[in-house]
Amino acid sequence: MLQDGNKSEHRFAYQVQEAESGQTIEWFLKKRGYSRQILTQLKKTDQGIRKNGTWAYTRDRVKEGDLLGICLIEKVEAGKILPVRLPFSVVFEDEHLLVISKPADMPVHPSMNNYDNTLANAVAAYAQEKGESYAFRCINRLDRDTTGLLILAKHMLSAAVLYGQMRRKEIHRTYLAIVKGRLESPGVIDLPIGRKEGSTIERIVDPEHGEHAVTHYQPLQWDTDWTLVQCMLETGRTHQIRVHMRHIGHPLPGDFLYCPEDHSMKRQPLHSWKLSFMHPITGESMEFVQPVPEDMKEYMRCNKRGEIGFYEISDDS
């Protein structure tokens, strides 16, 4: 990766295998996740595609043993996101992606009322301090008060491949949530979710107009008045876990939207605990786990009445 002010350059090399012989370069690259937008940009880039050291067209065909060299150049619009030093943790980083842990009370993207207090601002400052420049591309999203793991792509190709994995449900997301009441059996909630009429942010279960949404949940630990559940998402609808758990009578305490009468926590206790996916460039299998936040542990400690469930989340889980 080369950095030049607000421009980044990434180079990739591929050797054609026997089974790929006869394919066009366009088809060869599409099979590796190159989007139409990237291919269009490569066509406009001088020496963007080289076959065996010579500039090539996407319609050219390859044969076994050919070497393809790709030069992907991106311009990052200066000043689009204000760099602001804000706390977040880097769990993994290479030249292609970042896996970070987001704290509570931090929106992911800037908006009219959140111009300089977002994860995007924090990442812009982090990149600036390292002398890097890349667009903010968040692959999985989290609500403002949801903590935990997020994937950020550093360039167009890693973003395209990771978005493709998300569409094909190959990025596996596991959350931990504290819900009100006692749950002892696992279950699946398969109920459509849509926007509540008259609200710009609130969602409801809406069988008629809602979008397909599926949440798998597994109780891990419980007491009389609360349960720690593991939730795995098949879909990624806005507020999905919060809406589904409220619908079955187990809202998250402290959730100002879906359990407004409960003030036992300052936020909804929802944490992006585990992420697993394939590295967008190397194809390596990757899995990350982020410890349970202290405020969720404190809630469980303070609300113990002696009836603890069958699975303990350790401090280093």
Task: Indicate the pTM of the whole model.
Answer: 0.89
Distances 210 to 67, 134, 198 between C-alpha atoms, Å: 48, 35, 15
* The predicted structure's pLDDT at residue 1: 57
Task: Answer yes or no: same fold for 2-75 and 89-302.
Answer: no
Flag whether pLDDT at 12 surpasses 80.
yes
Active site residues: 143
* Helix segments in 51-183, DSSP class H: 119-129, 156-167
Neighbour tally for 89: CB within 10 Å: 11
* The predicted structure's pLDDT at residue 310: 44
Lookup result for tokens 């113990």? 304
Residues 6+ apart with CB under 8 A from 217: 183, 186, 187, 188, 189, 229, 230, 231, 232, 245
Considering the domain 2-75, what is its CATH architecture?
Answer: Roll (3.10)
Domain ranges of the chain: 2-75, 89-302
Convert the pLDDT of each residue in 54-89 to its tens digit: 999 999 999 999 999 999 998 877 668 999 999 999
Considering the domain 89-302, what is its CATH architecture?
Answer: 2-Layer Sandwich (3.30)
Out of 142-156, 271-285, 291-305, which region has the weakest mean confidence (pLDDT)? 291-305
| Calpha distance 60→281 (Å, rounded) | 23
* E strand spans, 16-86: 49-51, 54-55, 67-75
Flag whether pLDDT at 290 surpasses 70.
yes
For residues 45 and 39, the answer to whether their CB atoms sit within 8 Å is no
Tokens of 237: 């609808």
